[in-house]
Structure 1
Amino acid sequence: MSVDVVVVGGGPAGRALARACAERGVGTALVDPNPERRFRATYAAWADELPEGAPVAVSVSRSRVVTTEEHAVARGYAVLDNERLWRLPASVDVVAGRVVGRSASSVRLADGRVLSGRVVDASGAVGGSGAAQTAVGVVVPAGAARPFVDADEAVIMDWRKPPVATTADPTFLYAIPVSATHVLLEETSLARRPGLPLAELRLRLHGRLAAHGVAVPEDEERVRIPLDGRPRDWAFGAASGLIHPATGYSVAAALRRAPVVAAALAEGRPVVRPVAERVVHAMWSRGLASLLAMRPDEVPEFFHQFFLLPDDHQRAYLGGHGDLRGTLAAMLHLFRDASWAMRARMAFPVRTAKSAGTPG
Structure 2
Amino acid sequence: MTDVLIAGGGPAGWALARACARRGLATTLVDAAPLAPWRATYGAWADELPGLPPPVIASAPGETVAFGTREHRLARRYLVLDNEGLREWLTTVPVTVVTGRVAGAEHGRHGSTVVLADERRLATAVVVDASGAHRVLSGGPPRGHRAEQTAYGLVLPAADAERLIPGAPDTAVFMDWRDGAPSFRYLLPLGDGSVLVEETCLAHRPGVPAGELAARLRTRLAAAGLQARGREEHVRIVLDVPLPSRGAVVPFGVAAGLVHPATGYSVATALRLAPRVAAALAGALDAGPEAAVRAARKTLWTAEARAVHTLRRYGLRALRRMSPAELAEFFDLFFALPEAVQRAYTSGREDIPGTAAAMARLFRAAPPRIRARLAGRR
Normalising by structure 1, report the TM-score: 0.91
| 1:95 is the counterpart of 2:95 | no
Cα displacement (A) at 1:341: 1.6
Cα displacement (A) at 1:113: 1.6
Residue identity (%):
51
Q: 1:277 aligns with which of 284, 294, 305?
A: 305
Contact 1:149 1:175 in 2 (8 A): no
2 CA distance for matches of 1:12 and 1:260?
Answer: 16
State the partner residue of 2:7. Answer: 8
- Unaligned runs of 5+ residues in structure 2 are 134-140, 285-291
CA RMSD of aligned residues (A): 1.7
Instruction: Flag the structure with higher helix content.
Output: 2
2 CA distance for matches of 1:299 and 1:348?
Answer: 15
Most deviating of 194-203 and 211-220: 211-220
| 1:345 is the counterpart of 2:373 | yes
Q: 2:113 aligns with which of 100, 106, 111?
A: 106
Q: Which amino acid aligns with 1:290?
A: A
| 1:86 is the counterpart of 2:87 | yes
SS in 2 for 1:267: helix
1:148-159 mapped onto 2 (5 Å cutoff): 148=165, 150=167, 151-159=169-177
2 CA distance for matches of 1:283 and 1:103?
Answer: 35
1:86-235 mapped onto 2 (5 Å cutoff): 86-87=87-88, 88-89=91-92, 91-103=94-106, 105-117=112-124, 118-125=126-133, 126-127=141-142, 129-147=145-163, 148=165, 150=167, 151-161=169-179, 170-232=182-244, 233=247, 234-235=250-251
1 CA distance for matches of 2:119 and 2:265?
Answer: 36
State the partner residue of 1:166. Answer: none
Most deviating of 126-135 and 184-193: 126-135
1:16-31 mapped onto 2 (5 Å cutoff): 16-31=15-30
Cα displacement (A) at 1:24: 2.1
- C-alpha offsets along residues 153-204 of structure 1, whole Å, 9 cap, x if unaligned? 2100011228xxxxxx611110011124111111101101111111111111
Normalising by structure 2, report the TM-score: 0.87
Contact 2:260 2:266 in 1 (8 A): yes
1:251-266 mapped onto 2 (5 Å cutoff): 251-266=267-282
Note closer, same or farther for the CA distance 1:231–1:107 as it changes in structure 2 (3 Å cut). Answer: farther
Contact 2:22 2:93 in 1 (8 A): no
Note closer, same or farther for the CA distance 1:315–1:149 as it changes in structure 2 (3 Å cut). Answer: farther
Aligned pairs, number: 343
Q: Which amino acid aligns with 2:50?
A: P
State the partner residue of 1:335. Answer: 363
State the partner residue of 1:65. Answer: 66
Runs of 4+ in 1 over 3 A off after TM superposition: none
- Unaligned runs of 5+ residues in structure 1 are 163-168, 351-360
